[in-house]
Structure 1
Amino acid sequence: MTFNVTRRSLAVGVALLIAGGAAFAQQAFFRIGTGGTSGTYYPIGGLIANAISATGENGVEGLVATAVSSNGSVANINAIQSGASESGFSQSDVAYWAHSGTGLYEGKPKVEDLRLIATLYPETLHIVARADAGIKSVADLKGKRVSIDEPGSGTIVDARLVLAAYGLSEKDITPEYLKPGPSGEKMRDGALDAFFFVGGFPAGAITELAASTAITLVPVSGPEAEKLIADNQFFAVNTVPAETYKGVGEMQTISVAAQWVTSAKQSDDLVYNITKALWSDGTRKALDAGHAKGKLITLENAVSSAGIPFHPGAEKFYKEAGVLK
């Protein structure tokens, strides 16, 4: 078989290749580091990524956003700092420590380029215990088998702070370093007494566990919690309503804020368009319908609990929207 290639057809082919290359060059890839697949970051990240991508109802032209599973806050900030990710979710405390070189980042280089896109929703500190483990307070964790999450997560940092507030450390427990999903599996098998998790409720892994195993939530309250909040102003009082998880009554605890952060190196125009898409009608519908925490992600809350500077692109949008002076 032979093909007759005319000058005109060759020119058309070259033009199409050039156009295709130009379109590819204009495409922006924007990763969102989230957390474990059984937590809250991952599904929320997926909803936002789908909504702001070019295929979304009010998405950014040429943008391909993806939610990437990770170890959580610290891992996401490290990825942003190294250029391995364009953005990620972080607890407000971890973001503050990273930017200021304090707390968890004491003695380490400051992540001075860390910038805020939006505060999303409150992240509740859960201490989930087997109902038959006899754990009624944080102090009762002494001598128990307790998972405090993986290294690199925000949960492990807060777990250590809470234990210390009640006079305990990892030496006083038999520590495990597992995400909520594997923690729930070990608890079902009777191989774990309790686990910490910081995230929006209802958390899928805990809901699944409560459906098959009798659990309780351990309160973080009293003078110890009050001092913890006074010493660490990124903490706030929080309440988990009764029956959020099957058979579990109302429980008082503490929370931090979930934030979407990026690098100052990201283009102002790109982050402006991403922020605008985040607060579009299409994203609003997706968040409201997609997850229980979605309804708490509001434009008004976006500029609260900042702790670190806003990215100039996000700041421009919030000023135009009238929620930031």
Structure 2
Amino acid sequence: MFRKLTIATMLAFMVGGAASAQDLNFFRIGTGGTAGTYYPIGGLLANAISNPPGSRSCEEGGSCGVPGLIASAVSSNGSVANVNAIAGGTLESGFAQSDVANWAHSGTGIWEGKPPVEKLRAIANLYPESIHLVARADAGITSVADLKGKKVSLDEPGSGTLVDARIILEGYGLSESDVQAEFLKPNQAADRMRDGQMDAFFFVGGFPAGAIAELASQMPITLVPIEGEGAAAIREKYPFFAEDRVPAGTYEGVASDVSTLAVGAQWITSADQPEDLIYGITKALWNENTRKLLDSGHAKGKVIRPETALSGVGIPLHPGAERFYREAGLLK
């Protein structure tokens, strides 16, 4: 459940400004590493849904968020870690890849043999997450098969990227033991690549990714395509993957479109969260004020649209979110 602080406690944390005599509600959004896409998107959404006591209402030209709510984006290890934190009650919500959310709720895939997270609920599908396979331009890596024997970061435990990196390797006839695997966040892997100590790394997230853009501005890189028979076999076995393309010019030195795969980034929560709270958060997510923040705040913000809010959602909607989508005519 979300935490509450009375007005007396709240004043110890607020400087200046008048606050109304109401409870202050905190709502955390688990994201990912600070160099990825989850974290900045989480910050935009936290800003959009927040409306702390004492602030102006939407009608007064102020916040169009949930009255009394302060939301925050929390850096984490990513999808798997966010699901576990929501299940354990240490996060009120978080972002997760569609595949990870589905597996966790059903107790299948990477969750096989573990208790399913039956209370996992969806707020919205946000945007497609592209699988990036970044390589040093001089590493001789032009396909996934070329990773054999190379130093490759698969991302850290608890991340959805690690899950998908293993699937990609499998689709091309490789396993973790076929590469010199390391398990680093993308910014750490990029640092190793600058030092000549890393040949390639995986990252799953919306483009442009900050860590990759910064790396590409400092040294020549290759964005390795994930296509052909290997990609087709992966899509057949794991239907939550979709064909995707990273446009030319997204990263410096990448002059052509690059074919890859993508999964959906979804905002999830627990069935234990109050219906009225999640209704208010969903309503705040899709108002005009939030639209402006998303359009101006991040390249991936522009593709977070209400018409795709339910695309690829394979777990139950939270009742509060469901109520909003029915009222908005997006759900029959």
> Structure 2: how far apart are the matches of 1:193 and 1:54?
46
Partner of 1:320: 327
Following superposition of structure 1 onto structure 2, how do residues 1-325 of structure 1 map, counting pairs within 5 Å? Answer: 26-54=23-51, 57-248=63-254, 249-325=256-332
- Number of residue equivalences: 310
Does structure 1 conserve the Cα–Cα contact (< 8 Å) formed by 2:22 and 2:68? Answer: no
Q: Classify 1:18/1:159 alpha carbon distance in 2 versus 1 (closer, same or farther; 3 Å).
A: closer
Q: Classify 1:93/1:189 alpha carbon distance in 2 versus 1 (closer, same or farther; 3 Å).
A: same
Given residue 26 of structure 2, which amino acid in structure 1 is its aligned partner?
F
> Structure 2: how far apart are the matches of 1:229 and 1:176?
26
> Structure 2: how far apart are the matches of 1:76 and 1:283?
23
> Structure 2: how far apart are the matches of 1:29 and 1:17?
15
Given residue 283 of structure 1, which amino acid in structure 2 is its aligned partner?
T
Q: Classify 1:172/1:276 alpha carbon distance in 2 versus 1 (closer, same or farther; 3 Å).
A: same
Give the greater-gyration-radius structure (CA). 1
Deviation at 1:26, TM superposition (A): 2.4
5+ long unaligned stretches in structure 2: 1-6, 13-18, 53-61
Deviation at 1:25, TM superposition (A): 6.4
CA deviations 1:199-245 (Å, max 9, x no partner) are 00000000000001100111111111111101111100000000100
Does structure 1 conserve the Cα–Cα contact (< 8 Å) formed by 2:10 and 2:24? Answer: no
CA deviations 1:165-201 (Å, max 9, x no partner) are 1111111000110111011111011000000000000
Does structure 1 conserve the Cα–Cα contact (< 8 Å) formed by 2:226 and 2:260? Answer: yes
Worse-matched range after superposition: 52-61 or 273-282 = 52-61
> Structure 2: how far apart are the matches of 1:292 and 1:42?
13
> Structure 1: how far apart are the matches of 2:314 and 2:10?
44
Sequence identity (%): 65
> Structure 1: how far apart are the matches of 2:210 and 2:39?
11
- Taking only aligned residues, the RMSD between alpha carbons, in angstroms, comes to 1.8
Normalising to structure 1: TM-score of the pair?
0.93
Worse-matched range after superposition: 223-232 or 31-40 = 223-232
Does structure 1 conserve the Cα–Cα contact (< 8 Å) formed by 2:34 and 2:75? Answer: yes
Q: Classify 1:19/1:144 alpha carbon distance in 2 versus 1 (closer, same or farther; 3 Å).
A: closer
5+ long unaligned stretches in structure 1: 1-15
4+ aligned runs moved over 3 Å, structure 1: 16-25
Normalising to structure 2: TM-score of the pair?
0.91
Structure holding more helix per residue: 1
